[in-house]
């Protein structure tokens, strides 16, 4: 009887639980009201403790990343834009991916302007499609699809006027909530924390996935000076002790002098980079291609694709020149293993058609073409309509195709080994030539039949290059002994980089000689 009572009592003290870690059901003898403390075994309890510790480390890293973010150049720019707009609404619609794209756009704009240039004197600005502050109370979103890198002077002339209703991204005044407002007096830290709360998980993931965020020069120097002061590792001590906040409030020049003093130097030595601003056509080519793929407006995408084709053709023409301008535009005409000047320029003086054009007139005409084209590139990126027919005619009356077939250079031994085979080498030739052909084809400077013939012409040019290379190679085997000439003394065959590729060998086989039939 006593045994049955104990069994009933033991049975009544068992409770049905679900493990907080593995989610498996189990029975427990003690009542646990706190679900976060219910574990089926010690292994689950230890696993949850490790997960909690890992989450705590992640939170600590995110907090550190947030501090570095609002002290970085990019973070300060975002904060200044929010403060200037007076609202966080300009960040509406941001995702983790778009935040990374926004950072990339911001960093690219600095690369376009060269190293160490004053922001107030930058050639290129980060321009809005929908105005940063609209006349109707709306704001332009600080979003990659509403921003592009463009000429600073043209951007200032646009101001905040409405250019397009279907391009870019605008936040209407009716959607701007009072709790999103940002005061002019708010500190960078306060605005940053408000941004984190506003964007929530998207911003937290952005901080979590980012590498160590680099603080701007002022904050980096302030941190370095403060660390040396606290650790006593400076060669020379400063005249007084500073707090970190005091150091961060000083000008860059003052911090540089203090840093030099701590290192025992008498003067500040600044690195002067020779990197110049990118060529305008190169900048617009990248931005037109980006907007042609991401713009929400089909009309704007079409305009950007059209302008991109014109820019590529003009860029190729400038890349042909043997001067600094040609070097700056080499990305339009990448010449790996070929020599090629596909375009020619002709100038007609309508007042004196019989006169021969001078270099000054040709240069002035080319500069006019570049200026006119870049202005319309800005218009296309800003969402405005452009006169496609006029611009195409303006280009076609100045440029013509000189040759569609590049002059191929036979590879040497190390170059051929880098490719590994003739198949890869020929693929590289076509990969370099195809963008040029397609750009000329898109503008109307050639036909698809001419391009197809040019593809065969590349093989003919390669055949000619190999024959030339063979003649040069054979010179080392030429010997003259006792008045008798031996043209192939010790010759044991051509190296792999001077053997005809299989595709050329097949064309040669039916004829049985070293000639190559002309491309159809």
Residue matched to tokens 């905040």: 160
Residue ranges in 397-447 assigned as alpha helix (H) = 413-419, 422-443
Contacts of 471 (CB under 8 A, 6+ apart): none
Q: Residue 232 phi/psi, 5° resolution? A: 70, 30
- What pLDDT does 59 receive? 59
Domain ranges of the chain: 10-60, 61-209, 217-262, 283-468
Confidence at residue 306, expressed as pLDDT on a 0 to 100 scale = 95
Phi and psi at 361, nearest 5°, equal: -65, -40
> What residue has token string 């190390």?
414
pLDDT at residue 514, as a whole number: 41
Structure tokens, 201: 């998980």
- The pLDDT, as a whole number, for residue 223 is 87
CA distances from 395 to 27, 37, 315 (A): 82, 75, 12
Which pair of structure tokens corresponds to residue 187?
């500190």
CA distance 440 to 405: 13
**Which residues are paired to 449 by β-bridges?**
none
Distance CA(492)–CA(8), nearest Å, equals: 101
Burial class (CB in 10 A: 0-12, 13-18, 19+), 474: middle
Three-class SS state of 399 = strand
Helix (H, G, I), strand (E, B) or coil at 514: coil
- The span from the CA of 444 to the CA of 341, in Å, is 18
**What are the per-10-residue average pLDDT scores of the chain (520 residues)?**
50 75 80 76 79 67 89 93 93 94 92 62 87 87 94 85 86 91 92 94 92 83 87 86 86 85 78 68 95 94 95 93 88 86 74 61 82 94 93 90 91 87 90 92 92 91 90 88 84 88 68 39
Nearest CA to 94 out of 183, 206, 175 is that of 206
Instruction: Tell the burial category of 193 from Cβ atoms under 10 Å away from its Cβ (0-12, 13-18, 19+).
Output: middle
Helix axes 422-443, 298-319, angle to 10 degrees: 120
Q: Which pLDDT score is estimated for 519? A: 35
In angstroms, the Cα distances linking 479 to 79, 468, 475, 484 are 77, 20, 9, 8
Under a CB-based contact definition with an 8 Å cutoff, are residues 169 and 98 in contact? Answer: no
In degrees, rounded to 5, the angle at the alpha carbon of residue 31 between the alpha carbons of residues 28 and 35 is 90
> Which residue in the block uniquely carries the two structure tokens 């690369």?
111
Question: What is residue 16's DSSP assignment?
Answer: E
Residue 167 · residue 295 · CB < 8 Å? yes
The CB density around residue 131, as the number of other CB atoms within 10 Å, is 20
What's the rounded Cα separation, in Å, for the pair 308 and 286?
Answer: 9
Q: How many CB atoms lie within 10 A of CB 416?
A: 19
**116: region left, alpha or beta (phi > 0 left; psi from -120 to 50 alpha):** left
DSSP code at position 21: T
The predicted structure's pLDDT at residue 85: 92
Single out the residue of 139, 248, 140 nearest to residue 187, CA to CA.
Answer: 248
Strands 25-28 and 399-401: unpaired
Q: Are 202 and 96 in contact (CB under 8 A)?
A: yes
Q: How far apart are CA 98 and CA 473, in angstroms?
A: 56
Helix (H) / strand (E) containing 484: strand 484-486
HSE at residue 456, side-chain half, CA atoms within 13 A, is 11
Cα(325)–Cα(311) distance, integer angstroms: 15
Structure tokens at 401: 């195709």
329 contacts 281 by C-beta, under 8 angstroms: yes
Torsion (CA) 331, 396, 299, 332 in degrees, nearest 10: 0
Parallel, antiparallel or unpaired: strands 479-481 and 484-486: antiparallel
The packing angle between helices 359-381 and 298-319, to 10°, is 160
């Amino acid at each position: 009887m006593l045994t049955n009572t104990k069994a009933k009592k033991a049975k009544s003290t068992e409770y049905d639980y679900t493990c907080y870690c593995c989610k498996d059901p189990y029975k427990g003898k003690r009542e646990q009201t706190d679900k976060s403390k219910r574990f089926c075994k010690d292994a689950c309890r230890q696993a949850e403790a490790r997960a909690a510790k890992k989450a705590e480390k992640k939170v600590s890293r995110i907090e550190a990343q947030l501090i570095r973010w609002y002290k970085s150049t990019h973070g300060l720019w975002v904060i200044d834009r929010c403060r200037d707009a007076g609202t966080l609404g300009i960040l509406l619609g941001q995702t983790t991916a778009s935040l990374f794209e926004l950072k990339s756009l911001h960093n690219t704009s600095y690369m376009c302007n060269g190293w160490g240039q004053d922001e107030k004197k930058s050639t290129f600005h980060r321009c809005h499609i929908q105005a940063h502050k609209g006349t109707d109370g709306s704001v332009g979103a600080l979003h990659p699809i509403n921003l592009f890198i463009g000429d600073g002077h043209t951007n200032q002339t646009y101001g905040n006027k409405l250019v397009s209703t279907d391009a870019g991204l605008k936040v209407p005044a009716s959607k701007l909530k009072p709790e999103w407002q940002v005061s002019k007096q708010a500190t960078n830290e306060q605005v940053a924390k408000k941004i984190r709360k506003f964007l929530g998980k998207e911003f937290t993931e952005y901080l979590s996935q980012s590498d160590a965020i680099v603080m701007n020069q002022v904050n980096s120097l302030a941190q370095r000076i403060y660390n040396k002061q606290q650790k006593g590792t400076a060669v020379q001590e400063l005249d007084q002790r500073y707090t970190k906040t005091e150091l961060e409030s000083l000008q860059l020049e003052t911090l540089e002098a203090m840093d030099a003093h701590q290192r025992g130097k008498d003067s500040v030595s600044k690195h002067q980079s020779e990197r110049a601003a990118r060529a305008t056509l190169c900048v617009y080519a990248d931005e037109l291609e980006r907007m042609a793929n991401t713009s929400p407006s089909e009309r704007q995408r079409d305009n950007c694709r059209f302008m991109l084709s014109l820019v590529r053709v003009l860029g190729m023409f400038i890349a042909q020149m043997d001067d600094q301008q040609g070097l700056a535009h080499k990305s339009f005409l990448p010449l790996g293993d070929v020599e090629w000047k596909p375009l020619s320029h002709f100038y007609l003086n309508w007042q004196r058609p019989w006169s021969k054009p001078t270099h000054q007139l040709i240069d002035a005409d080319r500069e006019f073409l570049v200026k006119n084209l870049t202005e319309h590139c800005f218009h296309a990126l800003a969402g405005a309509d452009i006169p496609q027919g006029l611009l195409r005619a303006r280009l076609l009356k100045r440029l013509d195709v000189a040759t569609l077939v590049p002059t191929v250079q036979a590879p040497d031994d190390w170059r051929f080994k880098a490719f590994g085979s003739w198949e890869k080498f020929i693929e590289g030739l076509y990969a370099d030539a195809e963008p040029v052909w397609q750009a000329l084809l898109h503008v109307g400077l050639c036909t698809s039949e001419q391009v197809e013939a040019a593809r065969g012409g590349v093989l003919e040019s390669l055949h000619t290059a190999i024959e030339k290379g063979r003649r040069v190679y054979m010179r080392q085997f030429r010997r003259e002994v006792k008045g008798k000439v031996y043209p192939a003394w010790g010759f044991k065959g051509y190296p792999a980089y001077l053997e005809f590729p299989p595709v050329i060998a097949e064309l040669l086989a039916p004829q049985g000689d070293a000639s190559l039939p002309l491309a159809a």
